[in-house]
Structure formats: structure tokens, C-alpha cells
Amino acid sequence: MNKQLKKILIKTKKQVFSEVIGNNSSLLKGEGYDFLELKEYEYGEDVKNIDWVISAKFKKPYVKVFHAQRELNINIIPILSGSVYFGTKKFKQELIAEICSLLAYSCIKQQDPFSSFIANTNVNICTKKSKRDFSVNQMTKSILEYQVVGKTINYSQITTELFKFIKKKSIIFLIGDFFDIENLDLRLLGKKHEVISIIIRDRFEEKPFELGNVNLIDPSTNQVFDGNIDELILKKYIAKVKQNDHKLYEHLQSCNIRFCKIYTDEEPLSKLLRLMR
């Protein structure tokens, strides 16, 4: 086991099992004990769940809806392309591996099985459904050592394959940098499953400074740029990133998908906890 992998596994396991982290409720609805909300009664619903006090007050039947208490199906899906082979404090690929490890250990703590996939132009199984530490090790190692250089992303293919592969209603974590999202459409996947998106970024790629004459290689396409990065180019680039993110946020909100952004210079645990509340 290499040092980087060992460090991530020890750190994330300690954070999940040693620090005070409460169990997080799911947005999935079903029979249970944790009250979620009241809603108007619809034909065919269990009359045992009718709240008679509220129903009498509003002169129409209302039923109680509860958080699901059944075992959850969790799917952890890092989206790995050449663009994650970048970072000023740490590489985005390393941060993605750390976040996936935190999520997997959280599943084990709550006795929920998890599966993992690696996605880019298509979706490949990483670890099968499991509640074992060995699967966390295997998944984190696969993500950390995955050869991302030269890999591009096809969001349309990813969502189509996930919809086909994941049969049971599940919680799906999509973890990636979410650039170039022209063909990203999560509407169908969001109707079938509870989708949570975690956006991974480096601050420099959102607000870069002038570099002058440079020779750069795009790690996704291997295209070479040899020229001057001046103020005008930076303004166009920053505007394009803002446009991409505005479109991304609007789409996630329209699909009722929870999301957060985590930078490579941040500790991910606190943001994940806020996201899951």
C-alpha cells in the first residue's frame, strides 16, 4: 500500500468513526419513525398515517410522511477525466479519492451497503455492493491510481448507463469537476433516484492569474497550447467558467439535486456534513 493511499484511508476512517458524526437521514420517503412532513391524503394511502388533529383543523385529511428506515442502496460514482489531473494544494483526483473514502466509511458506520463505479466516456464497476473495509480500500486505491490522462467525459452516456445499471431506488453520489456540461441532463436519473452532486475544483482554475508565455498540455485531449496568457484571455476564460457554473447550478436546482463545491485547499468533511443535513 503506497503512502498516499494509506494516509487517506487512516485519515478518513478516523474522521468517520472517531469523531462525533451523527447519522444522516435520507430524503427517500417510506415507513419509519422519523417524521418528515404532512401532506394531503391521496386515495390508496394508509389511513393509519392520517393526522386527525390537523385534518380536523383544516377540514380535509392530512397524512404523516416519515423518513425511510430501510437499508439504503448507496452508489459512489467519481467522474474521472484528464481535468482532475490538476491541483495547486493537492490534485483533484486525490481529493475525489478522499471524499469517496469518507462516503464509503460513512456507509459502513450506518450499516448501509455501497457500490462504486468509475465514470468518464462510460461507466465501469469499481466495487460491488458491500459493507466491508476491504471494499473501501479497493475503491480508494482504484480511484487514486486510475490513469486519467487522455480521458474525456460523456455525461449523456454516463447518465444513460447509470439509469440502466442501477435498478433499485438508490442514493447516487456524483463526484467530479463538472466542466463542459453541455450534454449533462440528470432529470431522468433524478426522478428514479436521489442524486447528490459534489463539485471538485481548484481555486486557480476558477480565478487564474496572468502567466505570460507558457507551453501547456490539456490532460484530457493531449492538445498543446503554446502562447501568451494575458488579461484578455483570462477574462474570456473566467467568464466561460462562470457561465458553465451558472448553467450547472440552475440544472441541479431544477432537478431538485443537492450539491456542494469543495476546493482542493479545503477539508471536505465539514462541507459533506452540511450537505447531508
Domain 3-22+70-276 has CATH 3.40.50.410: yes
Residue type, 37: E
For the stretch 149-189, pLDDT in tens is 999 999 999 999 999 999 888 999 999 999 999 999 999 99
Bridge partners of residue 200, in order along the sequence:
262
For the stretch 183-230, pLDDT in tens is 999 999 999 999 999 999 999 999 998 777 888 888 988 888 788 888
Q: What is the pLDDT of residue 24?
A: 46
Can you state the percent helix, strand and coil of the chain, rounding each to 5? Answer: 40, 25, 35
Q: What is the pLDDT of residue 190?
A: 93
Q: Which three cell numbers stand for residue 221?
A: 485531449
Report which of 173, 152, 186 is spatially closest to residue 106, judged by C-alpha positions: 173
pLDDT-derived band at 51 (thresholds 50, 70, 90) equals confident
Report which of 259, 268, 277, 257 is spatially closest to residue 102, judged by C-alpha positions: 268
Read off the pTM: 0.82
Distance of CA 203 to the CA centre of its chain: 19
C-alpha distances (whole Å) from 56 to each of 9, 43, 48 are 54, 18, 15
For the stretch 70-120, pLDDT in tens is 678 899 999 999 999 999 989 999 999 999 999 999 999 888 999 999 999
The C-alpha atoms of residue 84 and residue 87 are separated, in whole angstroms, by 8
Q: What is the mean pLDDT of the chain?
A: 88
CB distance 185 to 156 below 8 Å:
yes
Mean pLDDT of 11-30: 64
Write the DSSP symbol of residue 239: H
Q: What is the pLDDT of residue 26?
A: 44
Residue position matching grid coordinates 474570456: 236
Domain segments of the chain as ranges:
3-22+70-276, 29-67
